[in-house]
Amino acid sequence: MKINKTRNKKRHTQKKKSFRKKRHTQKNNFKKRHTRKKMIRGGSSSNNEDKKKKMLEAEKMLQAYSLNKDDRENRLEAVKKKGYTLRGASDAEKNDREIVLEVVKKKWWELDYASPALKNDREIVMEAVKQDGNALRYASAELKGDREIVMEAVKQDGGYVMKYASEELKDDREFMMDAVKQDGYVLKYASEEMKGDREFVLKAVKQRPLVLQFARRVWKNDREIVLAAVKQKGEMLLHASDALENDRKIVLEAVKQNGEAMFHAQWRHASDREIVLEAVKQNWKALQYASDELKGDREIVLEAVKQDGNAVEYASPELRNGGLRDYINEKKSGHISRNNFEELVNIKSKTMLAQRLAKVNKLEIGSYLDLDKGNAIKRAHENLKQIEDRTKRRYGVMNWLRQPGKDKR
């Protein structure tokens, strides 16, 4: 029994000690955090002095307000000089038209804290909307249906603000036809009746082709509407109907505008030589979406390589293994001057191509560049040496930093 009592006492004392240690560490940690926060807030001595000055100015202003609560003219002068926020203001101030107007002229978002009566004041709301169209969200329901105010908001921030407009305006054909001239994005928030208006949808797509995604399926199958979108933004081919994705003319227009639109047409038109060639001329990356057969077409691959030597990565293995070099030899047999060679493949893209071939197939760069006996070989060798030196330096520093026990100062 005695042994058990002594054991219990020891356990009890150990628990007490551990509990005290924990409390002590918690207190220390709290003190450290508190001091850190103070240091962060305080900053340098110069910052502290600036903050003190600002605090004193704020206190003086508060004293002036408290002393002159009923003195409206002094309050208005203070608002004009240094600005004011309505967030913590009294109901009387929030309902004072002159004070609210002065505040809103400087900060449009303060309209949110104005009284309901002043949110229905046309002049105040118009002042806010002229600064930022998003101020329409704080206007009264009545003014959200005001044509002039909503049109001003659309001019400021585009069709996006139409989501705050009244349902009546969204269904007003005359107003929507005027608004769509400012920004085609109004189509997204138009009424169902307006979304069924072909003339309205066509104008919206011409103004901003991205809105094709918000149009009805009927209009995504309309050749004229889709063609208007694709001519300005080729990737809008994604939102065309399946039938129009098969339309060769539409795909050709899309690819001419953006070669990477080939991504959306690759399953149907990857083997169409004209379409692939136009896509590659616009963007060399379109070569990756061509069929295996066209990836071996010398003219198409060379067109891509002229823009960027990295395009050889998407070429067929035959062309990567020397077929492209033989083709260039056939095109320009004999000695080639620098000017003639630049017409076919410029020096910069040629050196990039040679570097890519050297990496992929481990070919000697000189053997590929034997076409030009001039400066091209020297430049290519110099470029490769510079790249090698940079990588050595970079990896050398990284390895040194990884070594343990080194002083990194």
pLDDT tens track for 305-318: 878 777 888 888 88
Q: What pLDDT, on a 0 to 100 scale, did the predictor assign at position 103?
A: 86
pLDDT of residue 331: 47
Model confidence over 160-190: pLDDT tens digits? 999 999 999 999 999 999 999 999 999 999 9
Q: What is the pLDDT along the chain (409 residues), one digit of tens a residue?
A: 545 556 666 666 766 667 666 666 666 666 555 555 554 455 445 566 776 676 666 555 544 444 344 456 666 666 676 666 777 777 888 888 888 888 888 889 989 989 999 999 999 999 999 999 999 999 999 999 999 999 999 999 889 999 999 999 999 999 999 999 999 999 999 999 999 999 999 999 999 999 999 999 999 999 999 999 999 999 999 899 888 988 899 999 999 999 888 888 877 888 899 999 999 999 988 998 998 899 888 888 888 887 877 788 888 888 776 656 555 554 444 333 444 444 444 444 555 555 554 444 433 444 444 444 445 555 555 665 665 566 555 555 445 444 555 444 4
Q: What is the 3-state secondary structure (H, E, C) of the chain?
A: CHHHHHHHHHHHHHHHHHHHHHHHHHHHHHHHHHHHHHHHHHCCHHHHHHHHHHHHHHHHHHHHHHHCCCCHHHHHHHHHHHCCCCCCCCHHHHCCHHHHHHHHHHCHHHHHHCCHHHHCCHHHHHHHHHHCHHHHHHCCCCHHHCHHHHHHHHHHHCHHHHHHCCHHHHCCHHHHHHHHHHCHHHHHHCCHHHHCCHHHHHHHHHHCHHHHHHCCHHHHCCHHHHHHHHHHCHHHHHHCCHHHHCCHHHHHHHHHHCHHHHHHHHHHHCCCHHHHHHHHHHCHHHHHHCCCCHHHCHHHHHHHHHHCHHHHHHCCHHHHHHHHHHHHHHHCCCCCCHHHHHHHCCHHHHHHHHHHHHHHHCCCHHHHHHHCCCHHHHHHHHHHHHHHHHHHHHHHHHHHHHCCCCCCC
Q: Where are the domains of the chain?
A: 73-161, 292-409
pLDDT at residue 373, rounded to an integer: 40
Q: pTM for this structure?
A: 0.60
Q: Tens digits of per-residue pLDDT, 330-349?
A: 444 433 344 444 444 444 45
